[in-house]
Structure 1
Amino acid sequence: MKINRILTLILFLATFACQSPKFDLVIKNGTVYSGDGSEGQVLDVGITGDRITFLGKLGSFESDEIIDATGLAVAPGFIDMHTHLEPILEMPLAESLVRQGVTLSLGGPDGNSPLPLDSYLDTLEQMEIGPNLAYLVGHNSIRRAYLGNIDRDPTEEELAAMKGEVDKAMDAGAFGISTGLKYLPGTFAKLDEVIALSKVAAAKGGIYTSHLREEGLGLIDAVQEAIQISRDAQIPVVLTHHKAIGVKMWGASKKTLALVDSAHQLGLDIMMDQYPYTASHTGISVLIPSWALEGGKFEERVNNPALKDSIKSGIVFAILNDRGGNDLRRIQFSTVQWDRSLEGQTLYDWIVREGDEPTVEKGAEYVIQAQLNGGMGTIYHAMDEEDVERIMKHPMTMIGSDGRLSKPGIGHPHPRAYGTFPRVLGYYVREKKIMDLSTAIHKMTGLSAKRLGLTDRGVIQEGAFADITIFNPETVIDQATFINPHQYPQGIEHVIINGNFAVKEGEFQQKGYGRVIRKNKP
């Protein structure tokens, strides 16, 4: 009897061992990049449900669906470290992001985020969303709620309340705090205020990302300020969309990267994210002195002749020395609600159209008029290619689009909204060869996931979530341009989010499989 039982057990185990593994999806023969910066290997990936359940070489197997990825790169889904998700309620599938290969997007940058964050995330969780979404809490949003756009320090009671807002947002799942110290009202915040709020985020494992106080002539001081915040608040820092703006600052990335390296030698945790373009995008108001906008009294101030002269002088200085790039043709309009015919045109074009002399002084007058009309989105062609490449190659640089969710035909967005990640892979890796493919993928995936404290996304490994982007390294490229931005990229063959096809054979599936990801919550 004992021998029979042993034989039965052996037969059962042999039968079990001979069974082919069963998957929902198998990706065969692709060059798999784990996301940690190591070279790609030709492997098979098995997916069951929303997880990667096999990584290696499969023999016999069963699968509901098979992708032959021969000649294709199989990477973790890309993580966008800086996304303007403000239109997400109107564009929940976020096609402009997902078609780039993005499977996780970090929102709430530059100091602006929804408040209260908890109820907003609850709303998103009830929706069908395209990519996975994570959020930061915005310092500007909090400051505006308590102080408005006024240039003053918070009282002790107000600061305590602002700290409470950060604490509540962190409990709701925020990944940290963002600041926009170039913009109202963050520009009025003293260093002590920013450190106090950052300490609250740090206490719950959060990070600090900052649109620096200056990215032009004051860039070096602004980087030093961010490093001081990291030191005093004991918080990891991201210099977001890091750049050197304005002709006079071209080459300054040598100094800023040296500051980052020095900070690391002192034990501080400083990183950067970057978009791969030589033009930035923000409002026309960035050319206007902050004091002139304070308290919403811009119109009142420009109607005062003495103040208007000072405002105009400040704008002229910005055009010559900062985002204006010392050329009216470098200032290009994106979204102009009050005159759609200006979208895609430059400040030079507008002045000439009106029959005026295109001088810098006249340009300042038109900037004032644009602000009085309600403002406009503006693209500033004021960066140097060498700075872009130097920053991109730094080992602490991640990729973030800084793009706003976009739909074809709506406005004239910066092309980064459609092309950031394919541009890095196609233009900077394949064509310019400034870094290899595995390094670029690491900057889009594993490095970003590590910054966010995520261990099961941004990597291809057994047990990780099945967020995967499959692309053709020989053809992947951005197609969006500054003249014609509404163009989806080429070469992104498949995008898999939580085990489901968001893009299949290059076609967007019009379905959302993303999830809201809250820090420290399952």
Structure 2
Amino acid sequence: MKNLQALFLVLILFGCSKSPEFDLIILNGTIYDGTDNAPIQGDIGIIEDRIVEIGNLKSKKATATIDATGLAVSPGFIDMHTHLEPIMQLPQAESLVRQGVTFALGGPDGGGPWPFGAYLDSLATFPLGLNVGYLVGHNTIREEVMGMENRKPTEEELETMESMVEMAMKEGAFGISTGLKYLPGTFSEVAEVIALSKKAGEAGGIYTSHLREEGLGLLEAVSEAISISREANIPVILTHHKAIGVKMWGASQKTLAMVDSARGIGLDIRMDQYPYAASHTGLSVLIPSWALEGNQFKERTEDPELRKKIKEGIEFNILNDRGGSDLRRIQFSRVSWKKDLEGKTLHDWAIESGLEPTVSNGAELVIQAQLNGGTGTIYHAMDEQDVENIMKHPMTMIGSDGRLSQPGEGHPHPRAYGTFPRVLGLYSRDKGLFPLQTAIYKMTGLSAQSLGLKNRGILKPGNIADITIFNPETVIDQSTYIEPHQYPKGIEYVIVNGIPVVESAAMTGKTPGRIIRKTEN
């Protein structure tokens, strides 16, 4: 009997010694925890979707291990401003995941999905490669209730819009986004925006704003956003913050001072930014808003007097705003009706059309393009010094403003493939704009705090295992304005909810991503 008991004990001990203590161990990494603290050397043990231990785990057993010798181990990157519209066609989100992004915030610029909860429920059935959350869009709601009309809402319409914001917040929205440069948001007065933002703020949400102007009216637009924060009692993020147009170069010094002043009196004003000196939006941004009201652009261009005014407005914007005063600064990214224009500039199109590349002829081509259905357009109209000034600010986070992309489709802005590696490689390592731990903080811990994301954005026991592992010596973006469809270098592993979706810089095909709702995270 004693011999049997001894044998049983030996079998138990032998069995225990063989069973893994972790599902995954990351060994020998330089760990940046996402708090802006200096890194430590160590190992990370993961069970299911959680970090359970950080320390010396070399004697521990695991089902799988990653040797991170010479690599930086950080929280997965959080994209504060993402155009996720194609996600049902591209659910693995490779263009984001291969940058190290593990959570992306969709619904920016006033364009969140509707009906909100139904959309999230539907998206949850797709095999996602990363975690996603959404903002409810002011433009979307206004168009649902008021169409494209340029007027104040009635009391009943405003109440309807308020109830829609309340509903979306209950269904998991992280806050409200506005696109006050775009239709129909540009038709709204600040009182309307404040009323809707109050509802988001009462539910613990944030307000992100594509400002009413980012060119000549930039300072007034920042002031408006600050007033919305004050009156609606809501944290405000100046999204993809920039100073656009030659006449506004250098204005970041003033806008950052305004942010600091507002924060000094207790308002929660922050920013996100993409690390490029060119923006991307529709060609219609060059057209006066009144000309687009009610989808009557074609009819207005057929009236000689109105067409003349439209053209004058376009010429003004080419000279003073996104046009950067040079047709070469206006580059086409998506042109469904003339694919051979993709990657070329308005200057190129003028020459190809047998026209002198003047501002006047450029304006005529803009009208023609809009009548054909518009274009996606890259505007090379920002100053690099402003980009760096904004990036260095302690309240600036990183957001790609990129649209989910895949090789062969269109000619996207390079931010769709390169945003986060570019901050790490070009701005932190090569330019020395800030230490690596600060770069990581701007895309992890600070972002998670701003969104109220619980258990993400910081590497510590108990938190979700969203982790990016990269080579700090080689990480860099490769996407360019000429050849945008290029994945970055140096992102070696990306782990989403404890599951590697990138291993040795290659996609694994696994899809552990989730819909993250503000109400449930």
The residue that corresponds to 1:132 in the other structure is 131
Separation in 2, partners of 1:375, 1:454: 37
Q: Secondary structure at the match of 1:134?
A: strand
The residue that corresponds to 2:216 in the other structure is 217
Alignment of 1:504-515 (within 5 A): 504-515=503-514
Q: Do 2:279 and 2:381's aligned partners in 1 also have CA atoms closer than 8 Å?
A: yes
Is residue 469 of structure 2 the alignment partner of residue 454 of structure 1? Answer: no
Separation in 2, partners of 1:168, 1:220: 33
Q: Secondary structure at the match of 2:285?
A: helix
Deviation per CA, 1:284-331, whole angstroms, max 9, x where unpaired? Answer: 000000000000000111111111111101000000000000100000
Matched letter for residue 399 of structure 1: I
Q: Secondary structure at the match of 1:518?
A: coil
Deviation per CA, 1:402-445, whole angstroms, max 9, x where unpaired? Answer: 00000100000000000000000111111111111000000000
Q: Secondary structure at the match of 2:229?
A: helix
Q: Do 2:171 and 2:519's aligned partners in 1 also have CA atoms closer than 8 Å?
A: no
The residue that corresponds to 2:4 in the other structure is none
Alignment of 1:56-205 (within 5 A): 56-205=55-204
Matched letter for residue 150 of structure 2: D
Deviation per CA, 1:360-379, whole angstroms, max 9, x where unpaired? Answer: 00000000000000000000
Deviation per CA, 1:336-355, whole angstroms, max 9, x where unpaired? Answer: 00000000000000000011
Q: Secondary structure at the match of 1:89?
A: coil
Separation in 1, partners of 2:251, 2:517: 36
Kindly state the Cα deviation for residue 113 of structure 1 after the two structures are TM-superposed. 1.1
Matched letter for residue 334 of structure 1: S
Q: Secondary structure at the match of 2:86?
A: helix
Kindly state the Cα deviation for residue 511 of structure 1 after the two structures are TM-superposed. 2.3
Matched letter for residue 465 of structure 1: I
Kindly state the Cα deviation for residue 512 of structure 1 after the two structures are TM-superposed. 1.2
Matched letter for residue 220 of structure 1: L
The residue that corresponds to 1:48 in the other structure is 47
Q: Do 2:79 and 2:104's aligned partners in 1 also have CA atoms closer than 8 Å?
A: yes
Q: Secondary structure at the match of 2:453?
A: coil
Kindly state the Cα deviation for residue 57 of structure 1 after the two structures are TM-superposed. 1.3
The residue that corresponds to 1:412 in the other structure is 411
* TM-score normalised by the chain length of structure 2: 0.96
The residue that corresponds to 1:308 in the other structure is 307
**Residue identity (%):** 66
Q: Secondary structure at the match of 1:84?
A: coil
The residue that corresponds to 1:22 in the other structure is 21
Structure 1, unaligned runs of 5 or more: 1-13
Kindly state the Cα deviation for residue 18 of structure 1 after the two structures are TM-superposed. 9.3
Kindly state the Cα deviation for residue 455 of structure 1 after the two structures are TM-superposed. 2.7
Matched letter for residue 454 of structure 1: L
Matched letter for residue 263 of structure 1: A
Alignment of 1:344-493 (within 5 A): 344-493=343-492
Is residue 494 of structure 2 the alignment partner of residue 495 of structure 1? Answer: yes
Kindly state the Cα deviation for residue 59 of structure 1 after the two structures are TM-superposed. 4.5
Is residue 338 of structure 2 the alignment partner of residue 339 of structure 1? Answer: yes
Matched letter for residue 410 of structure 1: E
Separation in 1, partners of 2:127, 2:488: 24
Kindly state the Cα deviation for residue 191 of structure 1 after the two structures are TM-superposed. 0.4
Is residue 289 of structure 2 the alignment partner of residue 298 of structure 1? Answer: no
Q: Do 1:182 and 1:213's aligned partners in 2 also have CA atoms closer than 8 Å?
A: yes
Alignment of 1:186-335 (within 5 A): 186-335=185-334
Q: 1:73 to 1:302 in 2, by over 3 A?
A: same
Matched letter for residue 415 of structure 1: P
Deviation per CA, 1:82-126, whole angstroms, max 9, x where unpaired? Answer: 000000111111000000000000000000011011011001111
Matched letter for residue 123 of structure 1: S
Q: Secondary structure at the match of 1:88?
A: coil
* TM-score normalised by the chain length of structure 1: 0.96
Matched letter for residue 316 of structure 1: E
Q: Do 1:137 and 1:169's aligned partners in 2 also have CA atoms closer than 8 Å?
A: yes
Q: Secondary structure at the match of 2:28?
A: strand
More divergent stretch after superposition (101-110 vs 125-134): 125-134
Q: Secondary structure at the match of 2:87?
A: helix
Structure 2, unaligned runs of 5 or more: 1-12
Separation in 2, partners of 1:207, 1:259: 19
Matched letter for residue 243 of structure 2: A
Q: Do 1:20 and 1:60's aligned partners in 2 also have CA atoms closer than 8 Å?
A: no
Q: Do 1:281 and 1:377's aligned partners in 2 also have CA atoms closer than 8 Å?
A: yes
Deviation per CA, 1:9-64, whole angstroms, max 9, x where unpaired? Answer: xxxxx999999970011001100010010011101000000000111112521101
Matched letter for residue 420 of structure 1: T
Deviation per CA, 1:446-498, whole angstroms, max 9, x where unpaired? Answer: 00000011130111000000000000000000000000000000000000000
Separation in 2, partners of 1:436, 1:501: 27
Separation in 1, partners of 2:439, 2:223: 27
Separation in 2, partners of 1:447, 1:306: 51
More divergent stretch after superposition (59-68 vs 103-112): 59-68
Deviation per CA, 1:173-200, whole angstroms, max 9, x where unpaired? Answer: 0000000000000000000000000000
More divergent stretch after superposition (116-125 vs 178-187): 116-125
Q: Do 1:424 and 1:440's aligned partners in 2 also have CA atoms closer than 8 Å?
A: yes
Q: Do 1:21 and 1:60's aligned partners in 2 also have CA atoms closer than 8 Å?
A: no
Matched letter for residue 460 of structure 1: L
Q: Do 1:83 and 1:105's aligned partners in 2 also have CA atoms closer than 8 Å?
A: yes
Q: Secondary structure at the match of 1:87?
A: coil
Q: Do 1:250 and 1:383's aligned partners in 2 also have CA atoms closer than 8 Å?
A: yes
Separation in 2, partners of 1:204, 1:275: 28
Q: Secondary structure at the match of 2:334?
A: coil
Q: Do 1:20 and 1:61's aligned partners in 2 also have CA atoms closer than 8 Å?
A: no
